[in-house]
Structure 1
C-alpha cells in the first residue's frame, strides 16, 4: 500500500494561508510557522503528519499528498477544517 511523509499548516482563512505561503517562499522556516500559527495538534511538531496512507487524511489533503509534486508547498487547500499548506517529503 502507498505511503507518504508530509507536514502541513492549518489556519482558519485563505488569506492567512496565502500570507504564510509567501513567508515560506521568502525563506522563513515551515516548521517554525507551523508551531506558531497552525490550529492542528500537529503544529506542535512543526506540522509533521508523520507517515500517512491513502484515506487517512481528508480527501482534499489526500489528493495533494498522493498526487502533487514532492518538496513544494501546496495550497491553500480548503477542507472542512480550514485552509492547509501541505508539503510532501516522500511517497512510496
Structure 2
C-alpha cells in the first residue's frame, strides 16, 4: 500500500497562507512557521503529519500528498478546515 511522509501548515485565510508561502520561498524554516502559525494540532510537531496512507486525509490534501511532486511546498490548498501549505518528503 502507498504511504508518504508529509507536513503542513493550516491557517484560516488564503491571504495568510500566501504570506507564509512567500516566507518559505525566501528560506524560512517550515517547522518554525508551522509551530507559530498553524491552527492544526500538528503545529506542536512543526506541522509533521507522520506517515500518511491514501484516504487518511481529506480528499484535496490526499491528492496533493499522493499526486504532486515531492519536496515542494504546495498550496494554498483549500479544505473545509482552512488553507493548507503541504510538503511531502517521501512517497512510495
Band of TM-score, shorter chain: over 0.9
Q: Number of residues paired by the alignment?
A: 92
TM-score (norm 1): 0.99
Give the gaps of 5 or more residues in structure 2: none
How far does residue 41 in structure 1 lie from its aligned partner after superposition?
0.2
Give the gaps of 5 or more residues in structure 1: none
CA-based RMSD of the aligned residues comes to 0.3
TM-score (norm 2): 0.99
Q: What is aligned with 2:23?
A: 23
Alignment of 1:38-77 (within 5 A): 38-77=38-77
How far does residue 32 in structure 1 lie from its aligned partner after superposition?
0.1
Post-superposition, which runs of at least 4 consecutive aligned residues in structure 1 deviate over 2 A?
Answer: none
